[in-house]
Structure 1
């Protein structure tokens, strides 16, 4: 499994409840540009439209050597492929609980097929974000102290 793009902001802004794997419909040379690392999931989100999942706001830029006649829209909505039961479950959670669906990462699976890891998430408040940052820094300092103690620097 090789990561092509990650959405680090999603972990900061949302509390992840459940994760799912979805296929994605791509056009032309988009797979090549994904392998070259030319994707951005920062402000992207997933919407359910007429019983189908769509990835909106993602940016997959085309390569320079792509034919000028065929250059797909970089910010076009891309269809995500999942089972109908999973989509219905997500739709029920989104409408009932008020949670959102965010993409976490794009990656190549073992068969070299591009997949998108999406998550059912709940938005964090400002104090929750601050608490998460404090916990991260405390954990980082604790690990550094353990490493330094093992080296005999303390």
Structure 2
């Protein structure tokens, strides 16, 4: 995978972890204003997740990279996004996918004793288009 550099999130945490991954998934946007995106089509999404915190776990990790990949990749890879319950009432746009990835990752992080936070999720849908989701400060623990 080509190295990507994404906008930095200003913060005062001691540690910052970034996890890149990719997955393949299909979706469609069932609305006449979506144009060609009304038809089912697929993407190879490139995802970057930024996690930060002040404390490490008992192994010396902020969080194990594999746990982050498992939360996202196992959930979405080779699926139709429209079939996931989190998209029941909203269209699976790239913005919503980034938001839902943040929600899933943040939920997993809060199970840890050291309580790191997910500061940013970048979802690249095509080589020229990506979305950044950043939670409001009050959404972080």
- Please report the TM-score for the alignment, with normalisation by the length of structure 2: 0.31
Largest Rg, 1 or 2: 1
Question: Scaled by the length of structure 1, what TM-score is found?
Answer: 0.29
| Greater RCO structure (CA 8 Å; 6+ sep) | 1
